Amino acid sequence: MKFNYITIDGVIGAGKTTLAKMIAEKYNGSILLEEVEENPFLSDFYRDPKHFAFSTQLFFLLSRYRQQQSILQPDLFHSLLVSDYLFAKDKIFAYLNLEDRELLLYEKIMSLLERDIVKPDLVIYLKSSPDRLMINIKKRGRAFEKDMSKEYIESLNTAYNRFFNHYKETPLLTINSTKLDFVCNSEDFEIILKMIENKNAA
């Protein structure tokens, strides 16, 4: 495989972390996972988005930036790195959740940080329906996600689709995973692997 760095992204509940682990295992790669549960503001945000949006956003931005700096250190034992988030997608949440004054400050910070970010060789966007996303979220039963509304997921899904419909920074593979069960169905996982290998050969 000529890809050294693959990033998987999608709306909450799309299965990006699970798929990232499966791909890393398949190709004997290393993995970089977003530290979602480390954000101390997240449960408050889902309960009261207006008051906790900026602190939640800023924590995620700085956490993601710190993680991304580790990519600059080469892994001597693996030729492939798989991540379950794209740094640039941070803006999706910012524009969806922040007020105008907060957004101005966010943009100033983001413009300084994104200069140092390594771009992936391939971005995989796991596209899904809001209904399927809500089923997946409920199934995994994370305490901090229990107050998440379907309306929020629908708005997030629309924002993700808009973002990736205009995304041109790196090669992009969009996979509609609404009807795929790549965890329990090996044939579905093979379909995804075939799509990746076709991109790799292009």
- Residues forming the active site: 84
Q: Which stretches within 27-129 are classed as H helix?
A: 42-47, 49-69, 90-97, 100-113
Query: If DSSP codes are grouped into helix, strand and coil, which group holds residue 170?
Result: coil
Neighbouring CB atoms inside 10 A of 187's CB total: 9
CA distance 72 to 52: 32
**What is the number of helices (H) and of strands (E) in the chain?**
8, 5
Long-range CB contacts (within 8 A, 24+) of 85-88: 85/7, 85/8, 85/9, 85/16, 85/34, 86/7, 86/9, 86/120, 86/123, 87/114, 87/117, 88/114, 88/117, 88/167, 88/169
What is the distance in angstroms between the CA of the first residue and the CA of the last residue of the chain? 11
